[in-house]
Chains A and B, each alone.
Chain A
């Protein structure tokens, strides 16, 4: 009898694993466009990693869709590389926004001999994974990891197509002190590489702008109840509350502020700058501020056209899909210039990138950071994010609609 029960439980476990796996696989076949090949094809494997399960899975899927669209576009364009037609295959993996899982996925990509990696989404997963890619000599382009450390480890394989948190924190801190005229601020972060990193940079810049930090609180990236820390903050009556973290926490946080009668202004970085935030926080979202590296989607060079095509295929853009699209395209451009998809040849070409993407004109500095990364500020009004101003970047500040034409 006990043997019987044991085999049964093993069978159940096996079935569960099978269910789990088949879920992940189902995403891949979409990339296999029916291409009757009269000439030899150059099959290039791109790895994409983002959280596809868990609280941030909506943002992760958004990234993957952005990357997938770029892959489909490239395959449809029949690019010729050394007489062969380039055929990209996207391998989408789930890192659960968990640093440990991020390394496992990275190892899987290396073992599977991918030619380049797009990702990861979170700084927390991107930074530890970057070491794995560096050791294997595989180029990595992150669409959305903004923690400065990622490109400052001396890894020649690490690139990103978004301004980092030093730039973003500086803009946010100055904005808090100048435009929002805050005298005191309470800072909350989610203790992730992204949230804590951004909060640290924000604090430096805010103090420099003459704002006093009256409270520093921390939560985590799975919490939903913030009443305890908000109550504590309410007692200190700050002019402004800054949150470094993602929208699954930011939305209930804004609602609970309203319930507790906290009257401070609410400022966030890019993690809270999503359609989900304004949708879920509802009335509580009104008047919240956020910043997003890059320029408003509407003002992006290829923005409106991109939004339309993306919407028809996958629905509303959550957050970083255009950046994921550009990240893939930057790699494709490097392959074209190198006329080869060997990781080493791609790597040699990536620093020479000068690509007019959907988001901006992409060029890398010596670290692999985006040159002249712009930061834009938004306010939630009438259930939408409304662009306030754009700082830095390829355009003069405070001209959100101008940068589109510049390049």
Chain B
């Protein structure tokens, strides 16, 4: 029982990280119908740029969480500027191009950002100073750290905040209008370009937040860390229904839990025929299963083809 509970906790943390990153994918997709493959790289840049600030401040005597907040603030600024620039340079010129073109550009941006980060921060792994409360607690034989609790809470709060933003504010209404039809929204006085820019900026700020939390959780950061994370988060967004904020959360947590339970029990259930390395296969198996019966994901609505 304690092992099962521990696997659930593992899955929930991993899933919350996926969810936090997936929110960025889903926001951009919701507005533009564009899969921003560079999002994982923005997460990485958030992690590394916060580290640049955190490192020299770590021994300054300031309380750990304050240092992390300063680092986060810096990372958010960097990522917001980055998100804004990427949209301007790489996506806006292709707004009316066939769908495939911005997709390819997104992959290109991802490669460029990765190489840039390699030039700036080097090929080495960076250890992240443990500044957040790192106490370990035990419940029914399962252990969890305070960082894990922070991750789960932050992911949930962020998701709810975003839902409120989109459904309850003027900006949110403008976003929804732009998502539905940018041309008509323009006629109603919505500056679609500004809204799209803002969406990228908000998404990138979330990526910075995710980056800081991920690096705090694993204790290391590397220019390559965004790739797999982005891929998994994208899967989570599709599983939950891409374009749907609550779906990103559900998809992320579900994917995390499936992976943890998969790794923990496949081996025993199949008598050792399939080992723990089948955890990804297992996760994608569930994804395929969901997509067969609900092509738009668990919580996705049927999206009508845009004009």
Q: Which of B97, B114, B219, B276 contacts A228 (CB 8 A)?
A: B276
Are the C-beta atoms of B6 and A231 separated by less than 8 Å? yes
> When A1-B96, A9-B97, A57-B118 are in contact, do A16 and B260 touch as well, CB less than 8 Å?
no
Give Cα A23 to B123, complex, Å. 14
Q: When A61-B123, A224-B225 are in contact, do A231 and B218 touch as well, CB less than 8 Å?
A: no
Whole-angstrom CA separation of A61 from B3 in the bound complex: 41
B118 contacts across to A, CB distance below 8 A: 53, 57
Would A227 and B260 count as touching, CB distance under 8 A?
yes
Contact with B along A13-24 (1 / 0, CB 8 A): 100100110010
Q: Which of A119-134 contact B (CB under 8 A)?
A: none
CA distance A252 to B219 in the complex (A): 7
Task: Name the residue among B111, B123, B275 with the largest chain A CB count within 10 angstroms.
Answer: B123
Q: How far is the CB of A373 from chain B (nearest CB, A)?
A: 28
Per the bound structure, the CA–CA distance linking A248 and B228 in Å amounts to 14
Partner of A217, one of B96, B219, B222, B276: B276
Is A255's beta carbon under 8 Å from chain B? yes
Stretch at the interface among B100-108, B150-158, B239-247: B100-108
* Contacting pair B143 A259 (CB below 8 A): yes
Q: Point out the residue from A54, A232, A259, A261 that lies within 8 Å of B263, measured CB to CB.
A: A232
Question: Contact partner of A282 among B90, B105, B127, B264, CB < 8 A?
Answer: B127
Do A218 and B260 touch (CB < 8 A)? no
Task: Select which of A6, A55, A191, A255 is within 8 A of B97 by beta carbon.
Answer: A6
Mark contacts of B148-182 with chain A using CB atoms, 8 A cut-off: 1 yes-contact digit, 0 otherwise: 00000000000000000000000000000000000
A276 is contacted by which of B11, B90, B125, B130 (Cβ under 8 Å)?
B125
Q: What string of 1s and 0s marks CB contacts (under 8 Å) between A213-236 and chain B?
A: 000111110111101110110110
Q: Please measure, in the bound complex, the distance between the C-alpha atom of A231 and the C-alpha atom of B3, giving whole angstroms.
A: 7
Q: Contact at B218–A252, with CB atoms within 8 Å?
A: yes
Query: A218 contacts B277, CB within 8 Å?
Result: yes
B184 at the interface (CB under 8 A from A): no
Which of chain A's residues have a CB closer than 8 A to the CB of B105? 9, 12
Chain A interface: which size bin? 35 or more
Instruction: Report how far A308 CA is from B275 CA in the complex, Å.
Output: 45
**Which of B122, B218, B264 is the one whose CB lies under 8 Å from A225?**
B218
A103 to chain B, nearest CB (A): 21
Q: Judge whether B259 and A228 touch: CB under 8 Å.
A: yes
Contact between chains at B112 and A2 (CB < 8 Å): no
Is A345 among interface residues, defined by CB-CB distance under 8 A?
A: no
Interface of chain B: mostly helix, strand, loop or mixed: helix
Write the B1-15 contact mask toward A (1 if CB under 8 angstroms, else 0): 001001100110110
The chain B residue sitting closest to A259, CB to CB, is B145
Q: Which residue of A lies closest to B222 (CB)?
A: A55
**In the bound complex, how far is the Cα of B36 from the Cα of A180, in angstroms?**
50
Q: How large is the interface on B (under 10, 10 to 19, 20 to 34, 35 or more residues)?
A: 35 or more
* Interface SS, A side: helix
Q: B57 in the interface, Cβ–Cβ < 8 Å?
A: no
In angstroms, Cα B136 to Cα A255, docked, is 13
Is B267 part of the contact surface with A, judged by Cβ < 8 Å? yes
Interface set, chain A 46-64, CB cutoff 8 A to B:
52-55, 57-58, 60-61
User: Is B56 in contact with chain A by the CB < 8 A criterion?
Assistant: no
In the complex, are the beta carbons of A231 and B219 less than 8 A apart?
no
In the bound assembly, the distance between CA atoms of A225 and B12 in angstroms comes to 12
A280 within 8 A of B: yes
* Cα separation A23 to B276 with both chains bound (whole Å): 37
Q: Please, what's the 1-or-0 string for A369-404, where 1 marks a CB less than 8 Å from any CB in chain B?
A: 000000000000000000000000000000000000
User: Is A32's beta carbon under 8 Å from chain B?
Assistant: no
Against B, the Cβ 8 Å flags (1 = close, 0 = not) of A298-341 are: 00000000000000000000000000000000000000000000
Chain B CB within 8 A of A5 CB? yes
Closest Cβ neighbor of B143 among chain A residues: A261
Provide the residues of chain B in CB contact with A19, threshold 8 Å: 112, 115
B60 at the interface (CB under 8 A from A): no
- CB-based nearest B residue for A62: B123
Q: Indicate if the CB atoms of A235 and B3 lie closer than 8 Å.
A: yes
CB <8 Å contact, A228 and B277: no
CB distance from A56 to the nearest CB of B (A): 9
Say which residue of A5, A57, A191, A252 sits within 8 Å of B94 (CB atoms): A5
| Any B CB within 8 A of the CB of A208 | no
| Cβ-neighbour of B219 out of A52, A57, A191, A255 (below 8 A) | A255
Q: Do the beta carbons of A220 and B277 come within 8 Å of each other?
A: yes
Are A260 and B125 within 8 A (Cβ)? no
Known: A227-B10, A229-B263, A251-B220. A218 touches B123 (CB 8 A): no
B155 CB to nearest A CB, Å: 15
| Chain A residues near B270 (CB-CB < 8 A) | none
Structural contact, A5 and B97, CB atoms closer than 8 A: yes
- Minimum CB distance partner of A54 in chain B: B224
Q: What is B's interface to A at a CB cutoff of 8 Å?
A: 3, 6-7, 10-11, 13-14, 90, 93-94, 96-98, 101, 104-105, 108, 111-112, 114-115, 118, 122-127, 130, 136, 143, 145, 218-220, 222, 224-225, 227-228, 259-264, 267, 272, 275-277, 279
Q: Can you list 6 A-B pairs, Cβ within 8 angstroms, ordered by A? A: A6-B97, A8-B93, A218-B275, A248-B222, A261-B143, A282-B130
Residues of A within 8 A of B (CB): 1-2, 5-6, 8-9, 12-13, 16, 19-20, 23, 52-55, 57-58, 60-61, 191, 216-220, 222-225, 227-229, 231-232, 234-235, 247-248, 251-252, 255, 259-261, 276, 279-282
- Beyond known contacts A228-B264, A279-B125: 13 more, CB 8 A cutoff: A6-B98, A6-B101, A8-B97, A16-B108, A55-B222, A58-B123, A218-B275, A218-B277, A219-B276, A231-B260, A231-B264, A252-B219, A255-B218
